[in-house]
Amino acid sequence: MIKKINHIAIVVPELTAAIDFWVAKLGLALDHVEGVPSQAVEVAFLPVGDTAIELLQPTDEASGVARYMQKRGPGIHHICFEVDDIGATLDQLRAEGVPLIDETATVGSDGRKYAFVHPKGTGGVLVELYELAT
Smallest distance, Zn ion to C-beta of residue 4, A: 14
Please state, in angstroms and rounded to a whole number, the distance separating the CA atoms of residues 34 and 129: 20
Phi, psi of 15 (to 5 degrees): -60, -40
Which residues contact Zn ion by CB under 5 A? 9, 80, 128
Indicate the residue type of 112.
Answer: R
Residue 67 near residue 77, CB atoms below 8 Å: no
Smallest distance, Zn ion to C-beta of residue 50, A: 16
State the DSSP H helix or E strand holding residue 54, giving kind and residue range, or none if neither.
strand 51-58
Measured from the CB atom, is 49 or 97 closer to Zn ion? 49
Measured from the CB atom, is 4 or 24 closer to Zn ion? 4
Smallest distance, Zn ion to C-beta of residue 80, A: 4
Measured from the CB atom, is 24 or 75 closer to Zn ion? 75
